[in-house]
A = this chain, B = another copy of it.
């Protein structure tokens, strides 16, 4: 019959649209979740004695070297009231020393796990304990793709990347500054970015932290989106705050932290530790410093509002011995990230750590090799919030469209990894082998037919075809596959529905705020 009608396409457009989605590549409907709950144990690298030494060193750093606080008298007052020993360095800089154990005591009111609400309740994420949340990379000034190379990011890129994130079932969170929208004035960017997250995604996201008033704007926009009462009672936004390593908290950062905490919103407290530059280059020391800095920063939230969600964090990096350049996706920081997981669990605090790091300038073999080294440490170490899960290239200077979709596909594979191995009568499969016996294949066994749809992760992008088929179809490399994929995803993207009144209210807020101040470009 088919031979009689050779010109008829095998699958008509109509047939395609009727086929269940699970017949498309990479669907894996059984693995889709708003956030991952790990079913595999964490990979615990160090034993009790070594962990105690690291914790004791962190305590000693806080007690004997101290943290330098700059230009925030409100934070100074809070730390001093809590018992910090304050030494004035200058009119706007103070050294704070904390007796061993003091910071840990303050952190006891921080929740071990909390919910960040999304405008689509199906996308609420829980952060802490055995959960894991993937978010796109954060903070690159440049974007790159295979067609146009590297250039400064724009708000159009930013919107594209929010849409790509929303398109992937394997990210759980819209992230924050996916790229810097450098065509928007510095003092107004946060408005466009927060609006884009709210409008083009229906997932949870990060707000602005670059100035306290921008943090306040971010929260204000949440009050429009979620309602003020809801925001007062729940966490709907997070801010990602960097310490100024080594051992400094600057006043813009602490004021931002206070803004989020006062509103009961969550904050992430990240030392970005480039070993040898701003931290010891031995990993035990870097981890001890990371713990000390992040704990001291987290503690401020509890002094502002006990119970406010705070996330311990660490971005560990190495450097090239030759050039002094930072290096990413190397083995030593991967080990350090595993240890950060152990330390966070001992504090019973949520952790942000590691991600898909790379120094490569292209979405090539180096990029994915380095990324995997780093990303495996995040998921095995038990990090709960993984920023930089998609798009990271060029030592974080560039957000890559192609790497973004590559990383998303791998994020899906990690859903299968985190699901672990179920061991029961059915999965042990004795009957599968017994049915036909030695020497007979298992394609047609009841066991195979029962399990074949969900047994294995199905990638949307990897080429598993025979060489000849792959070659006939053009012999493309993975970067080319990714280049086509992000374009297809953007073409197919549909914005999640939003009440037009709400949309207008958000737009109105943005317009009024923008009109209220002149453009600033620094």
Contacts and interface: CB of A to CB of B under 8 A. Distances in A.
The bracket for how many chain A residues form the interface is: 35 or more
B438 A361 contact: no
A160 interface: no
B376 A372 contact: yes
Interface string A219-245: 000000000000000000000000010
Interface in A362-419: 362-373, 376, 380, 394-395, 397-398, 403, 406, 410, 413-414, 416-417
A294 to B, nearest CB: 15
A365 B406 contact: yes
A150 interface: yes
Contacts of A369: 368-369, 371-372, 406, 410
A320 to B, nearest CB: 5
Nearest to A42: B43
Interface string A22-66: 000100000000000000110111100010011001001100111
A465 B43 contact: no
A246 interface: yes
Nearest to A53: B423
Residue in A275, A280, A330, A403 with the greatest tally of chain B CB atoms within 10 Å: A280
A5 interface: no
Interface string A422-444: 11101111101110011111110
A465 B325 contact: yes
Interface string A447-477: 1100111011111011111110011000101
A427 B332 contact: no
B53 A433 contact: no
A380 B43 contact: yes
Contacts of A363: 365
Contacts of A25: 322
A367 to B, nearest CB: 6
A339 B421 contact: yes
A323 interface: yes
Interface in A323-372: 323-327, 330-332, 334-336, 339, 359-372
Nearest to A56: B428
Nearest to A470: B361
A478 interface: yes
Given A246-B433, A276-B452, A54 B471 contact: no
A318 interface: yes
A45 B246 contact: no
Contacts of A366: 368, 461-463, 478, 481
Interface in A263-315: 275-289
Contacts of A331: 413-414, 416-417, 457
Contact of A423 (B142, B284, B321, B477): B284
A171 interface: no
A507 to B, nearest CB: 36
Nearest to A282: B427
A479 interface: yes
A362 B439 contact: no
A438 B365 contact: no
A245 to B, nearest CB: 9
A282 B429 contact: yes
Contacts of A40: 45, 335
Residue in A372, A456, A481 with the greatest tally of chain B CB atoms within 10 Å: A456
A288 B43 contact: no
Contacts of A284: 421-424, 427-429
10 contacts: A65-B433, A142-B467, A247-B437, A280-B429, A281-B452, A282-B422, A320-B458, A336-B421, A364-B478, A372-B376
The 3 closest A-B CB pairs, nearest first, are A285-B429, A280-B429, A372-B372
